[in-house]
Each structure stands twice: as structure tokens, then as C-alpha cells.
Amino acid sequence: MSEILFHYYRVNPTTWFYLASLLSIAVFFKFNRALSVRNVDLVGLILFAPGLLAVEYGGFKANVDAQQLGYVWLFVITGLFIIRMLCDSLMVRRPMLEPNLNSGGLTFLGISLLVFLLANVLTTRPERDDLAAATTAARLETGDAEVNADQLARLGPGYPLLFLLPHISTQRVFSSEAVSSAGGKTKEPPPRVVHETTARAMAIISQLLIVSGMIFIGWRHFESTKLGIAAAVLYLLLPYTAMMTGRVDHALPGALIVWAIGAYRRPVIAGGLIGLAIGIIYYPIFLLPLWCSFYWERGVRRFATGVGAALSALVIGLWCTSPTLAIFAGQLRQMFGWIFPSSVSLEGFWAFPSYDPVFRLPVLAGFLVMMATMAIWPSPKHLGTLMSCSAAVLLGSQFWKAHNGGLFLAWFLPILLLVIFRPNLENRVALKALDTDWFIRRRKQRRTIDAA
């Protein structure tokens, strides 16, 4: 960016936290209703950033106490938002609290933020710790079944080919030594260049899909484009987005889930997007009982067909790229998370000596109870309930996630923001919103015949 803008320097995440928080309050805080739920939500969203900064500071300085404090901070804020999402369906009165900026100003601000954030993705070079997971994942291409088992323990469940992409952390409190010199004397091997380019392209596309999906939901389902734009702008303003813009494993699942919400009237498409999210990071598999409950009165078979088709396509992709049957079996285990909780290699909160990993099992049991309860109650579910409960499930998965649980905010953050801005959606139930036919063309033909 310094080649385009004179003397441009990337903003430090701590400085961005101060500036973005003040701007978020100026645009979205309702000063005439200081005790409104919207204001409490806004403060909670801003409070995610100190935990993220503490985790990064502790990791770079090898300060265990600071890193532990950061994870505990994130878990506290996450727990509060779980309660908020569980109580969201009880809020029948939802007054229209528009932002303090009009639609034109929000659009200009959103486009400006998006340009700068995506420019950071294009100009950032992965550092040594950003390439650690990709270097380990590269063993999948030449390893055997034992290597795949080790890979599953180190990186956790997810689509194996996704781990080949390096992490691109666009903003850091501290920067370590770059992978190659600025003068370009150290030439990178072609596979690494290809993986970096793919990671940048996928990160940019994922962020564009998240923003466009939020605007689409505001226009199509909230019947207010301004609300969708406001939610998207607040997503772009948050310090987390600036820090993790280039993380494909964060943004891509969030984009798929947002567009699954946007396509809820097309159960096959929604199921396919949820199936892709499950195949990529595994954890959205816990959304299936909730979504099947939503579609139970109408559309559940179409939704299940979409999920099965997406997972089958990902499995076929693994089969085509696996040189041996043993490697394919190991990759399949990693994709579907076929590993006992006691055998997982821990990283993050549960890896600290102060916390016994055995307590992760009752946390997982409590999460499963919450997931089962939301699948049963409330019934029937409308679109607002589907969104808030989906956000609660993804929030809850952070507590027992073995690999840096609490840091993957993009999985639930776009849906969380849409829930915060949403109007009353009690009339958006599957029985009313969905047609009985499978195919769109057949629906149009039948409507034409009925009209005639």
C-alpha cells in the first residue's frame, strides 16, 4: 500500500482497537437509549478484542499468564453471548434501531474498509509461525497412514487439503522474521507460492461472500437493505476482522453458513452449503439437529440431500487427490474427526498446565445437552430462532475445541451481528416460506398453471 498511498503505514492492532471502537460507538451506539440491548451487544462485541490481543501478546512474549488471561477473557465474553442468543427468541418486541449514519455513508465506509482490509491480504507475507501448520500438512502428500494419524492429532478435524494453505495474519502486535528477504534473494519453491496465492484468493473471496451475504439477508429476509449494510460495516470495523482477514480457516466456514441462512428457502442449496462447512472444519456438524428441526415440517429430505451431496463431493475430491488407499483413509478420518476426545493433541486454553484436560469432557457433554435442547425447543422454529440458535451452537463449540478454541470468531460473528440487527421474523417458518416442490422450474410451471 505504501507504493500507492504516500507514506502509508499499516495500523497496529492495538491502535486499530481504539480507533475502531470509537468509530463503532459513534455509528451504532444509541445515545438516546443508553440502556438498550443494542448498546449492550455493541459493548460486548468490542470486548472481544482485548482477549485476542492478550493471547497474541502472551504467545509472542512466551508469557503464559497473559495468554491464559486472554483465553479466559474470550470465554467469558463468549459465554455471555451464548446466554444472549438463547434469550433472543424471547425478545418479541424489537424496535427498529437504525445506525446513526445514513445508507450512503454506511456504504462508503464499508467499501473503504473492505478495500484496505483486502489490500492487507494481498500485501502480507506469511511469517514463520504462519507456515507451521502448512508445513506439517504438506506431509499428507507423501506420508503414510501413521503420518495422517499424527496430522489429525496435531491440527484437529477438518478438510486435509485446506491445511496446506498458509495462514495470512494481516495485522500483528509483534512481527517476527519474514520467511524470505525483502530483496527477494531467497526464492520460494513453486508449491509454496501456489499455496500462498490460493490462500490469498480464497480469503478475499470468503470475506466478499460474508459481506455480500449479510447485505443479501438484510435485503431479502429483513426487508431492509440498510440493516444488512449496517451489520456488514460493523463486521468490517471489529478488530478481529482486521487481524484475521487472511485466515481462510476462519472466514470460509463463516461465509458458507451466512449464505446457508440466506438460502434457507432453498433447502437443497442450504443443505449443500452446510455440508461444505461440515467437510471443511467438521464443527458445523452439530448444526444438523437444529436445522433438521427447522425443516422438519417441510423440506427436511431436501436439506438432507444437499448435505449428503456436498459431503460426497468432498470425499470424492479426497479420493482423486490421494496417491494411496492408506493416505485416503487417514484424510477421511481427519475430515470427519474420527478420534476420541482423550487422544486429541491440545493447543490453546486446554493445553495450559493449570487446566486439567479431563474437564473438557463435561464441557463437551454440556454442549451436547444444549444442542439437543435447541433441536427440540422452541417448536416450530422461525428464521430468527434458526439464526440465534445456530450462533449459540457455534459459540458453544469454542469452549471444547481442542485447537485454539475461542479464537475462531468468524464462524459465528456474521450470524451474531445479523441476530443483533434483525427485525421480528416470526412469520418466516418452513411451513409458510418453503414450497412443496423440489425444483424451482417445476414451482414456476405450477404457479403459471394455477394463475391460468
Are the CB atoms for 175 and 127 separated by under 8 Å?
Answer: yes
Residue 78: closest CA among 89, 70, 68: 70
Q: How far apart are the first and last CA of the chain?
A: 60
Q: Which is it for the CA torsion 369, 371, 377, 378, positive or negative?
A: positive
C-alpha cell at 49: 478484542
Predicted local confidence at residue 444, as pLDDT: 60
For residues 20 and 370, what is the distance between their CA atoms, to the nearest angstrom? 34
Q: Which residues are paired to 265 by β-bridges?
A: none
| Cβ atoms within 10 Å of 14's Cβ, excluding its own | 16
Residue 237: closest CA among 17, 11, 14: 17
C-alpha cell at 437: 416442490
- Average pLDDT per 10 consecutive residues for the chain, totaling 452 residues: 66 89 94 89 96 89 88 96 92 81 95 92 74 59 50 72 79 57 48 81 95 96 94 95 90 96 95 96 95 93 96 93 82 83 77 85 94 89 94 95 91 96 89 75 59 54
Cα 42–45–49 angle (5° rounding)?
135
For residues 58 and 174, what is the distance between their CA atoms, to the nearest angstrom? 11
Residue 170: closest CA among 233, 110, 127, 205: 127
C-alpha cell at 118: 483486502
DSSP 170-229: ---SS---BSS-TT--SPPPHHHHHHHHHHHHHHHHHHHHHHHHHHHHHHHTSS-HHHHH
For residues 61 and 336, what is the distance between their CA atoms, to the nearest angstrom? 35
Angle formed by the axes of helices 103-123 and 225-237, nearest 10°: 40
